[in-house]
Homo-oligomer: A and B are copies of this chain.
């Protein structure tokens, strides 16, 4: 079973990846990582599938377990759900030693993590991601938060987990569309910094789409290793050049799609795939990628059944929505582009005309 450490000094923590991790016989008894009380935050889709499997061994170990079940979906990643968590934590007298465990996808992880970061000014946090996206993205990096009507993830905090359990068995119940959305972020790691992994993905995408357990474990591990390496060098996303910003390939365009269409209409990974195609197209127009490079990326997304075109919002509307993104630094739109496949850069010198042309070329 792969285990890797995210090295962040005093906040270093392990990620365990593999099948059957939620079982008490996995050798990772969660009860030994917590004190007398935990609160499991999950949603109404995941709860019937995995909540009992997680909470039963804890209860048997004599630990008080609060189960907080939220509605499903990105549209619920808001103050109302967060406040519901606070209400339950307070009603059940959770204190500063109570661990909050996120059981679910990115929305559950972001909400539960932000609750952990802010409940009584911070309590221990454990992640049990049950989607591919959460296993390869939210498991590493410590980003937590909620959406605001004016923009995605505009309110949040950095808060590192004590432990991540990525049980690949939970992917067996993942809808096809969400598996694909997770693969968008997996492909991203190859594109930004790991050409051999990109080549591995081209050779193994059929296996991944067929949910081959060993292939999925490898893809998750390699994704987490890549992300951990980036995050370790730039924990709080303060690097002026490169650093964590490189993880945002396709995300500034993608956020425009998500916000422009209304939260939850496009899945995050879908928006990232279409947004990445825009970044790739702009990179081609800057002379950094060949037509063949662009086709290669497009083919990989298509194999993963991901959209390679954005919705027709009009490129001016895209620009306006991108201006609200956190990647805007001191008024300049700073994009992540590809110098070549496997080599991303941050770039603030693209003109609005160039950016709009790339967007227009990638909308259907």
- A residues lining the B interface (CB < 8 Å): 35-36, 79, 83, 86-87, 90-91, 93, 95-97, 117-122, 143, 145, 148, 150-151, 153-158, 236-237, 323-324, 326, 328-331
A150 close to B95 (CB less than 8 A): no
Which B residue sits closest to A35, measured CB to CB? B330
The oligomer's copy count stands at: 2
A122 close to B330 (CB less than 8 A): no
Partner of A79, one of B79, B158, B328, B329: B79
A95 close to B158 (CB less than 8 A): no
A154 close to B95 (CB less than 8 A): no
A90 close to B150 (CB less than 8 A): yes
Q: Which residues of B contact A328 (CB under 8 A)?
A: 93, 95
Which B residue sits closest to A158, measured CB to CB? B121
Report the minimum CB–CB distance from A1 to chain B (whole Å).
32
With contacts A121-B143, A329-B96 known, is A86 near B323, CB below 8 A?
A: no
Q: Which residues of B contact A331 (CB under 8 A)?
A: 36, 93, 95
Q: Which residues of B contact A118 (CB under 8 A)?
A: 118, 145, 155-157
Q: Which residues of B contact A150 (CB under 8 A)?
A: 87, 90-91
A-B contacts, 23 listed (Cβ < 8 Å): A36-B330, A86-B148, A87-B148, A87-B150, A90-B151, A93-B324, A93-B331, A95-B326, A95-B328, A96-B326, A96-B329, A97-B330, A118-B155, A118-B156, A119-B155, A120-B154, A120-B155, A121-B153, A121-B237, A121-B326, A122-B157, A122-B236, A157-B157
Report the minimum CB–CB distance from A238 to chain B (whole Å).
9
Q: Which residues of B contact A97 (CB under 8 A)?
A: 329-330
Report the minimum CB–CB distance from A284 to chain B (whole Å).
29
User: Measured between alpha carbons, how far is A203 from B288 in the docked complex, in Å?
Assistant: 75
User: Measured between alpha carbons, how far is A153 from B86 in the docked complex, in Å?
Assistant: 12
In the complex, the 3 A-B pairs of residues with the closest C-beta atoms, listed nearest first? A90-B150, A121-B156, A120-B326
B329 close to A90 (CB less than 8 A): no
Most B CB within 10 A of own CB, among A36, A237, A324, A330: A330
Partner of A157, one of B83, B121, B143: B121
17 new A-B contacts, CB < 8 A, other than A86-B148, A93-B324, are: A36-B331, A86-B155, A91-B150, A93-B323, A93-B328, A95-B326, A95-B328, A118-B157, A119-B155, A120-B154, A121-B143, A121-B145, A121-B156, A121-B157, A122-B157, A122-B236, A157-B157
